Amino acid sequence: MSRTMRGVLFMAFVLAVHSWTLVAASPSLKRGFYKKTCPQAERIVRNVVGPAVAANPGIGAGLIRLHFHDCFVRGCDASVLLEGGDSEQMNIANLNSLRGFEAINDAKALLESECPQTVSCADVLAFAARDASEFTGGPTYKVPAGRRDGRISRREEANVLPSPLASAQELRDDFTSKGLSLEDMVVLSGAHSLGIAHCPTFSRRLYNFNATHPQDPSMAPDLAEYLKRRCPPPGQDRTAVPLDVATPNLLDVQYYRNLKKGKGVLISDQTLWTSSLTAKMVDSFADKPNRWAKKYADAMVRMGAMDVLTGNQGEIRIRCAVVNSY
């Protein structure tokens, strides 16, 4: 299975206007794409995401994760939103763990009423991830748009998603195969300041780490005790715990501060502190929240430009869960 991507030319610079805003120069995506065809598009999405996150902060984490899981597989084409027995949603990395579909579907329904078959599901997802960042206390940024929706979603193709058991080196390779840098990987991992993890994704660290240490010695003892109470042996039920036990509903740099204390829940989180490849970046972001915010916004725009369909490619789905019928 190929893990490479077509080259995408883009660059970004940051403007400070009460919040971090990004401008991406791309031959395929542009800011204000719907200015003439659907001028209220971004406002409509925002007006759905805001109340959804206020009612359930977990939706914020879910929308950011949906965008990431979409872009990492086949590019940012909303393929993760397609339903079906062999779709990406059925892959073990996504099964019963994706959230935020209702907000996407509600926003899309309003857009279809306002501007029929004009705004792609892929763009709705990109806008929603940006808005989720803002409504959970993180940076906001300008989203270049013009994506089109794909018509293919295959379960096996989601195998490229990074594993919660991955090392820093494996994560680096996963991200560089998609055209993202090592720093992008560490920056985007900061989204784990939000969200939850289920027991099977980390129980190995508690009960069966290796032949020498039944429990992962890099995990803080108080965190291990908390997780064991939530996930008793063998730790294979579907109980969920916050990825950031300190500020679970805020997108902030507490994630990096937790790693420095041995309080990363997943192996793929804690490895960023224990690996010499990434430890200095973790240390820097933990102490410089504004620096992380700028880089997060920049990296989200870069990720959102991966392997996009534009022009006459793909389609504009009427409903995000199914391809159009012609």
Give me the active site residues, please: 69
**At residue 309, what is the residue type?**
L
- Distance in angstroms (rounded) separating the CA atoms of residues 175 and 156: 18
Tell me the backbone φ, ψ of residue 145, rounded to 5 degrees.
-125, 180
- Distance in angstroms (rounded) separating the CA atoms of residues 91 and 267: 20
Alpha helices by DSSP H, listed for the chain, are: 41-55, 58-71, 101-114, 121-135, 168-176, 182-189, 204-207, 221-230, 254-260, 267-274, 279-287, 289-304
Residue 4: half-sphere exposure toward Cβ, Cα within 13 Å? 3
Judge contact between 62 and 21, C-beta under 8 A. Answer: no
- Distance in angstroms (rounded) separating the CA atoms of residues 166 and 273: 13
241 alpha-carbon distance from chain centroid:
18
Cβ within 8 Å of residue 85, ≥6 positions away: none
The DSSP secondary-structure symbol of 1 reads -
Of 158, 114, 101, 119, nearest to 321 by C-alpha is 101
Give one DSSP letter per residue of 14-79, joined into a string: EEESSSEEEEE--SS-BTTTTTTT-TTHHHHHHHHHHHHHHH-THHHHHHHHHHHHHHTTTSSSSG
